Structure 1
């Protein structure tokens, strides 16, 4: 099962892909932060487990764009995959290559990013002890992340009832948006509204925002949703 959100201009694209040991209370409360920056160093993502929950945050040019934001899932008929987590593995790589898109203004696209894979697992005993990985890719002009849920005992066939992913914006930015969860069948063709992001209840992606100081545009979008 894959749910891909490579979150991107400053773009945030968010994806989902389908041995736990005891730790001390101090280690569980706040593990060492993990950081990954864009090739030019301007965008930086920080990932950390705090009080057993996994959070990420984003800075651009040293300014907070996203405050610590929760990651995880809720399942129908099972405990949420959110609590009693610890980091069990990490991996990093740098990619610099080009690919050809079938349409668009530019045929050849450069894919240059730094990647951080963070695997976490529940410290709880069976039938829990479930694990998942979040893959972050940080580009000069955006950030993307996806979830990977591998087949494992206690997490074979499942139904996601709620995605717990948060985007805790540091600024009450000006947003351009169209509503979601409305009965109208043509809601994708509704006129865009403009308002502070704090007054919005639900929106369709992409959600476009401009920080109040006018220095940064933010777009939140999602892609590659398969069986999701």
Structure 2
């Protein structure tokens, strides 16, 4: 059982949360993996057109969603599942690691305000560690894999070129293991998973693993950071 699922049982949750938050306040550098400062992609998608979609997976969707809800130019970020069938797109089944699904986030963004390449830069730098195979932090299994689900040929070219660029530059100690493939379908996760970071900032898993990601976004990508998150409950998306 992963630490994330264990925390949801709420056994001694208040005491655990207090200890985690206290530890984070004393030594924030120990609370999560360090972000990696990386170069922007040398090849990027064109910024024309209306609202566009990016779908990415990088471990628990709570933290990835939280990061992009604080990113300027993102008009909505929804936690969900990609890589498997509609019949198995529910949390309890996906958690078995046998469905082909990855916990993913569908990002609707305005290409006039943020590029697809910038989204990938944030994804690789602060949202997750792309060198971890079938795991992310305390969570393990194929449902926590690093993946980019492309929606068109241009996204595919940008993503593949960026991974090659970062591997060549050796910005990480290990090779990137992110899988790149076409998006077949995206299925939104259950309502209780949406806006989770904002609604539960003191939950032990969030405080330890995900709040530091948002802080790293604010620090490393200050020009792309917005203080007020764009929540699913408030999003107004027009295609």
The TM-score normalised by the length of structure 1 is 0.25
Higher helix share goes to which structure? 2
* Structure number with bigger Rg: 1
Q: Compare relative contact order (CA 8 Å, sep 6+) and give the higher one, 1 or 2.
A: 2
The TM-score normalised by the length of structure 2 is 0.24
